[in-house]
Structure 1
Amino acid sequence: MARTAAKITLSPSRDIPLDRLALSQSNVRRIKAGVSIESLADDIARRGLLQSLSVRPLLDAEGQETGRYEIPAGGRRYRALELLAKRRRLAKDAPIPCVVRAPGDDILAEDDSFAENAMRESLHPLDQFRAMQAMVDKGDDVEAIAAHHFTTPAVVRQRLKLAAASPKLHAIYADDGMTLDQLMAFTVADDHQRQEEVWAQLDHSFNKSPAFIRQKLTEDSVRVTDKRAAFVGIDVYVGAGGAVVRDLFEADGGGWLTDPALLDRLVDEKLKAEGTRILAEGWKWVTTSVDLPWDATRDLRAIDREEVAMSDDEQARVAALEAESEALCEQWSDAPDVPAEVHARIDAIDTELGALVDRPFVFDPAEMERAGAFVSIDRDGSVRVERGFVRAEDEPEQDMPDGAASPGAEGGGDESDPRGGEEGDHGTPAAGSDGEEEGEGLRPLPDRLVSDLTAWRTLALQDAFAKDPAIAFAAVLHSLVLGCFYAGTRESCVQVAANRVYFSNAPTNLRDSAPAQAIDALAAAWKERLPQSDKDLWDFLFTLGGDEQAMLFAHCASLCVNAQAEIVPKYDNGRISAHGVARRIAHSDVLARSVSLDLVAAGWRPTVEGYFRSVTKPRILADVAEARGPQFAEMIDHLKKADMAREAERLLEDAAWLPEPMRTPGLDDAEPGDAEGDAADGELPAFLAEDADGPDDAIDAELPVAAE
Structure 2
Amino acid sequence: MAVAAQKITLSSSRDIPFNKLALSQSNVRRVKAGVSVEELAESIARRGLIQSLHVRPVVDDGGKETGMFEVPAGGRRFRALELLVRQKRLAKTAPVPCVVSEAGVDILIDEVSLAENIERAPLHPLDQFRAFLALREKGMTEEAIAAAFFVDVKVVRQRLRLASVSPVLLETYAEDGMTLEQLMAFTVVEDHARQEQVWDAIKDNWAKEPWQIRRMLTETTVPASDKRAAFVGIEAYEAAGGYVLRDLFQQDEGGWLQDPILLDRLVSEKLKAEAEAVAAEGWKWIEVAVSFPYGHDHGLRELVGTPVDLTEEERATREDLRDEYDRLEANHAGADELPDAVDHRLGEIEEALRAFEFRPMVYDPAEIARAGVFICIDGDGSPLIERGFVRPEDEASADPDGEDGDGGGAMAGGVEPGSHQRAVITIGGEPSEPEDEDDEGDAIKPLPERLVIELTAHRTLALRDAVASNPRIAMTVLLHKLVLDCFGAHVSGCALEARVRDVHLPVQSPELGDSDSAKRIDERHEAWKRDIPLGQDDDRLWDWLDQLDQASRHALLAHCVSFGVNALYERPNPYSGTGISQQGLERRLREADRLAQTTGLDLVEAGWKPTVGNYLGRVTKARIIEAVREGAGDHAAELIGHLKKGDMAKEAERLLAETGWLPEPLRPTIEAQAVDGAADQDEDGMVLPDFLAGDDEGADDPVAAE
Q: TM-score, normalised by structure 1?
A: 0.54
Alpha-carbon distance in 2 for matches of 1:2, 1:140: 59
Measure, in 1, the Cα distance between the counterparts of 2:353 and 2:144.
47
Report the AA paired with residue 212 of structure 2: F
Asked if residue 121 in structure 1 is aligned to residue 121 in structure 2, the reply is yes
Q: Tell me which residue corresponds to 1:269.
A: 269
- The CA deviation at 1:330 is 6.9
Gaps of 5+ in 2: 404-477, 502-521, 527-706
Please state how far the C-alpha of 1:315 moved relative to its aligned partner: 0.8
| Structure 1 residue 179 corresponds to structure 2 residue 179 | yes
Aligned positions of 1:630-645 closer than 5 A: none
Structure 1 residues 328 and 578, CA, compared in 2 at 3 Å: closer, same or farther? farther
Per-residue CA distance 1:210-258 (angstroms, 9 max, x = gap): 2221122111111111111111111222222221111111222111111
Q: Tell me what 2:103 maps to.
A: 103
CA distance in 1, matches of 2:20, 2:77: 15
Partner residue of 1:257? 257
Q: Show CA shifts across 1:630-663 (max 9, x none).
A: xxxxxxxxxxxxxxxxxxxxxxxxxxxxxxxxxx
Specify the alignment match of 2:154 in structure 1: 154
Question: Could you tell me which amino acid in structure 1 is paired with residue 108 of structure 2?
Answer: L
Q: Note the 1:18-29 alignment, pairs <5 A.
A: 18-29=18-29
> Does 147-156 or 226-235 show the bigger shift?
147-156
Q: Deviation at 1:40?
A: 2.3
In structure 2, distance between residues paired with 1:49 and 1:338: 52
Taking the aligned partners of 1:277 and 1:142, their CA distance within structure 2 comes to 47
Residue deviations 1:588-647 (CA, integer Å, cap 9, x gap): xxxxxxxxxxxxxxxxxxxxxxxxxxx99xx9xxxxxxxxxxxxxxxxxxxxxxxxxxxx
Deviation, 1:156, is 1.8
Q: Which residue of structure 2 aligns with residue 588 of structure 1?
A: none
Is 1:224 aligned to 2:228, yes or no?
Answer: no
> What is residue 509 of structure 1 aligned with on the other side?
none
Deviations 1:391-449 (A, max 9, x none): 111112344648x9xxxxxxxxxxxxxxxxxxxxxxxxxxxxxxxxxxxxxxxxxxxxx
TM alignment of 1:309-324, pairs within 5 A = 309-324=309-324
**Superposed CA offset, 1:481-525 (max 9, x none):** xxxxxxxxxxxxxxxxxxxxxxxxxxxxxxxxxxxxxxxxxxxxx
Per the alignment, do residues 75 and 237 of structure 1 end up closer, same or farther by CA in structure 2, a change over 3 Å counting?
same
Deviation at 1:123, TM superposition (A): 0.5
CA 1:58–1:204: 2 relative to 1, 3 Å: closer
Q: Which residue of 2 aligns with 1:496?
A: none
Which residue does the alignment assign to 1:49? Answer: 49
2-structure distance, mates of 1:271, 1:122: 57
Q: 1:24 to 1:234 in 2, by over 3 A?
A: same
In structure 2, C-alpha distance between the alignment counterparts of 1:347 and 1:50, rounded to whole Å: 59
1:111-510 map, 5 Å: 111-324=111-324, 352-399=352-399, 401=401
CA deviation string 1:151-205 (max 9, x = no partner): 3222221111101111121111111121111111110111112212222222443
CA–CA separation in structure 2 for the residues paired with 1:193 and 1:233:
30
Give the counterpart letter for 1:384 in structure 2. L
Post-superposition offset of 1:578: 12
Query: 1:272 is matched by which residue type in structure 2?
Result: K
The aligned counterpart of 1:706 is none
Q: Which residue of 2 aligns with 1:82?
A: 82
SS of the aligned residue for 2:68 comes to: strand
Provide the C-alpha distance between the structure 2 equivalents of 1:331 and 1:89, rounded to a whole number of angstroms: 58
Letter in 2 for 1:64: K
Distance 2:390 2:157 in 1: 57
SS at 2:133 equivalent: helix
Following the alignment from structure 1 to structure 2, what is the Cα–Cα distance between the partners of residues 386 and 297?
10
RMSD: 3.6
Corresponding residue SS for 1:16: strand
Moved more, 315-324 or 349-358: 349-358
- Note closer, same or farther for the CA distance 1:329–1:45 as it changes in structure 2 (3 Å cut): farther
Counterpart of 1:35 in 2: which secondary structure? coil
Using structure 2 for the length normalisation, give the TM-score.
0.54
* More relative contact order, 1 or 2 (CA 8 Å, 6+ apart): 1
1:152 partner amino acid = D
Question: Aligned-pair distance for 1:107?
Answer: 1.9
Aligned residue for 2:63, secondary structure, equals coil
What is residue 446 of structure 2 aligned with on the other side? Answer: none
Structure 1, unaligned runs of 5 or more: 405-569, 582-614, 620-708
1:555-574 matches, cutoff 5 A: none
Question: How many angstroms does 1:357 deviate by?
Answer: 3.9
Distance 2:53 2:30 in 1: 17
Moved more, 192-201 or 314-323: 314-323
Structure 1 18/217 Cα, relative in aligned 2: closer, same or farther at 3 Å? same
Q: SS of 1:187's equivalent? A: helix
TM-aligned CA distance change 1:203 to 1:320, over 3 Å: closer
Alignment CA distance shift 1:134-1:327 (3 Å): farther
Once the two structures are TM-superposed, the CA of residue 143 in structure 1 deviates from its matched residue by 3.2
The alignment covers a number of residue pairs equal to 422
How far did 1:124 drift? 0.2
- Return the offset for 1:347: 6.3
Distance 1:139 1:301 in 2: 69
Shift of 1:338: 6.7
Distance in 1 between the 2:264 and 2:350 partners?
33
Offset at residue 366 of structure 1 (A):
1.0
State the distance in 2 between where 1:336 and 1:43 align.
48
Q: Which residue identity is paired with 2:146?
A: A
Aligned AA (2:232): V
Determine the C-alpha separation between the residues in 1 that align with 2:98 and 2:134.
31
TM-aligned CA distance change 1:53 to 1:192, over 3 Å: same
**1:135 match: secondary structure:** helix
Shift of 1:353: 4.2
Distance 1:233 1:578, change over 3 A: farther
Q: In 1, Cα distance between the equivalents of 2:5 and 2:162?
A: 47
Question: 3-state SS of the aligned residue for 2:188?
Answer: coil
Which secondary structure does the structure 1 equivalent of 2:107 belong to? Answer: coil
Displacement of 1:2 after TM fit? Answer: 5.4
Distance 1:41 1:142 in 2: 22
